[in-house]
């Protein structure tokens, strides 16, 4: 009997122990979960503190990009190739509603290029990228007129201009800034403004140029908009098709120049777009001098290397100057005194370079960009096809959007959609221009809901993106503007 009572007591003790153990396990599990959730909230709050966020944001974004590449790896480091085809246009199907002004796409006041087009040879693509099946909903095509260029004063030689270029020159009095994450545009603009006495930093320029930290690109027209809105006391001119001699002439006369160019960071990261401030040159050593927000001040780059990288962006540049110097600057610019004149020079250069180096992807892309300006969209689309088959860098559509425009205008809205889809997927979002063009392509194919959603995403990433806001308003969708 004592043995049975003892065994019963042991079993009862064990049951109590198990109950207490279960209660303790549940308690500590909830406690651990609470600590994790609490730590998460605290970490999220601390991460949003400006001082912390500025230091950690780029590390978080790099980690996200690496995870994205593992989960959804790119098939190649170039955009998909395309089967060259004769483009059959059905212009009668276009409906010019709504009408959207696209300030970020340059278009000439007249519609006919003055240069003689060269034939574009369509080489067969190594592989064709199959497109999803077409569907035939009721289409609504946007018509995209672009504001004409602001008139410039006629150049005159009565001003004090020196066309004598010494063998070297370097500008001083510039405050260098190392860029924050994806912030070369705001940082370079701030450095250029510092030469003329502006006291701000890239924080002020970035607040306007890229309200979303994860925005991958700042366009030249956004820089011009910032200058017009916030630095009205300083003049500026945006041009394309530049050359080293023109840069040297401007620098020798005391004007620093913002240039956008390609940049290979390293083997892992690959090709990207990058702004620099050109501040000097040295003919003896064949070097351009730049203030580089990534590499540092007084960075010296070989002439041929600088020009090769600059070619990737149609050799675009922005020169800053006091308003009273405008006539002098226009005189120095000469054939580049008007935007249309610079596009003419850029078109001539791209035509020659595609003939001289037919495997040069940037020459073909520039040819398409320049044909777009003169509204020859068929020639532009064919040029962009050639660039894709040579091998366009996969980040190209982060920075330049002429492919979208040419394909859209020639009835290839499905390809616009597919390229925007690929670009957004590879970038992880943060590209309001690709959202805009994917929306426009969806609208053209009758998918109104998707179009509205993408126009709204474009505005989320950049509330200053007036083209997306205008499209929504004309579709009857209320916006915050």
Report yes or no: 434 and 440 within 8 Å, Cβ to Cβ.
no
Question: Domain count of the chain?
Answer: 1
Q: How confident is the model at residue 432 (pLDDT cuts 50, 70, 90)?
A: very high
> pLDDT tens-digit profile of 283-315?
999 999 999 999 999 999 999 999 999 999 999
List, in order, residues 6 or more apart from 300 with CB less than 8 Å away: 282, 285, 287, 288, 289, 290
- Indicate whether 302 belongs to any domain: yes
Residue 351 lies in a domain: yes
Quick check: is 454 in a domain? yes
Residue 44 covered by a domain: no
Domain housing 452: 91-474
| Intra-chain end-to-end CA distance of the chain, in Å | 88
Any domain includes 137: yes
Checking if the pLDDT of 12 tops 70, the result is no
Instruction: Tell me the CA distances in angstroms from 285 to 132, 167, 215, 288, 303, one per residue in order.
Output: 53, 10, 37, 9, 9
Q: How far apart are CA 451 and CA 442, in angstroms?
A: 5
Mean pLDDT taken over the chain: 80
Per-residue pLDDT at 157: 41
Cα angle 352-306-115, degrees, rounded to a multiple of 5: 25
57: in domain: no
Return the pLDDT at 408. Answer: 96
What is the pLDDT averaged over residues 396-416?
96
Higher pLDDT: 161 or 67? It is 161
Using omega within 30 degrees of 0 as the cis cutoff, is the peptide bond preceding 465 cis? no
> Which CATH number is 463's domain given?
3.90.70.10
For the chain, what percent of residues have pLDDT higher than 70? 68
Judged by average pLDDT, the poorest of 55-59, 192-196, 264-268 is 55-59
Look-up of token digits 């579709």 = 475
Whether 18 maps to a domain, the answer reads: no
Query: What's the confidence (pLDDT) of residue 156?
Result: 42
On whether residue 375 sits in a domain, the answer given is: yes
């Amino acid at each position: 009997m004592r043995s049975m009572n003892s065994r019963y007591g042991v079993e009862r003790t064990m049951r109590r122990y198990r109950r207490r153990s279960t209660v303790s396990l549940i308690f500590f599990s909830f406690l651990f979960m609470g600590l994790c959730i609490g730590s998460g909230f605290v970490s999220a709050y601390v991460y949003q503190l400006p001082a912390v966020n500025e230091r950690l944001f780029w590390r978080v974004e790099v980690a996200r990009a690496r995870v994205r590449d593992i989960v959804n790896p790119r098939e190649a480091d170039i955009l998909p190739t395309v089967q060259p085809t004769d483009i059959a246009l059905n212009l009668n199907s276009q409906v010019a509603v709504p009408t959207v002004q696209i300030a970020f796409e340059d278009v000439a006041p007249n519609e006919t290029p003055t240069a003689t087009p060269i034939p574009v040879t369509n080489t067969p693509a190594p592989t064709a990228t199959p497109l999803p099946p077409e569907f035939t909903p009721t289409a609504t095509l946007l018509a995209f007129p672009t504001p004409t260029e602001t008139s410039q004063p006629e150049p005159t030689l009565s001003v004090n201009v020196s066309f004598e270029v010494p063998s070297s020159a370097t500008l001083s009095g510039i405050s260098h800034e190392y860029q924050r994450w994806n912030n070369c545009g705001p940082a370079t603009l701030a450095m250029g403004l510092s030469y003329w006495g502006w006291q701000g930093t890239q924080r002020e320029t970035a607040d306007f140029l890229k309200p979303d930290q994860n925005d991958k690109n700042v366009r030249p027209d956004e820089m011009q908009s910032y200058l017009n809105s916030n630095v009205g006391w300083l003049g500026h001119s945006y041009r394309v098709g530049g050359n080293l001699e023109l840069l040297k002439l401007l620098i020798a006369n005391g004007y620093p120049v913002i240039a956008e160019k390609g940049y290979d960071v390293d083997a892992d990261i690959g090709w990207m777009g990058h702004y620099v401030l050109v501040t000097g040159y040295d003919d003896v050593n064949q070097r351009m001098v730049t203030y580089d927000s990534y590499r540092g001040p007084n960075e010296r780059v070989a002439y041929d290397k600088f020009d090769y990288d600059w070619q990737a962006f149609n050799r675009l540049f922005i020169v800053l100057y006091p308003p009273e110097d405008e006539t002098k600057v226009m005189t120095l610019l000469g054939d580049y005194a008007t935007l249309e004149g610079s596009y003419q020079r850029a078109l001539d250069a791209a035509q020659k370079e595609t003939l001289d180096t037919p495997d040069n992807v940037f020459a073909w892309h520039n040819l398409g960009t320049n044909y777009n300006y003169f509204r020859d969209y068929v020639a532009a689309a064919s040029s962009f096809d050639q660039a894709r088959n040579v091998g366009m860098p996969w980040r190209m559509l982060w920075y330049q959007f002429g492919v979208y425009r040419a394909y859209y205008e020639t009835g290839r809205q499905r390809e616009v959609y597919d390229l925007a889809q690929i670009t957004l997927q590879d970038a992880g979002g943060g590209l309001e221009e690709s959202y805009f063009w994917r929306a426009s392509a969806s609208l053209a194919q009758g998918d109104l809901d998707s179009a509205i959603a993408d126009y709204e995403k474009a505005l989320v990433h950049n509330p200053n993106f007036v083209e997306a806001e205008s499209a929504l308003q004309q579709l009857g969708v209320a916006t915050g503007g």
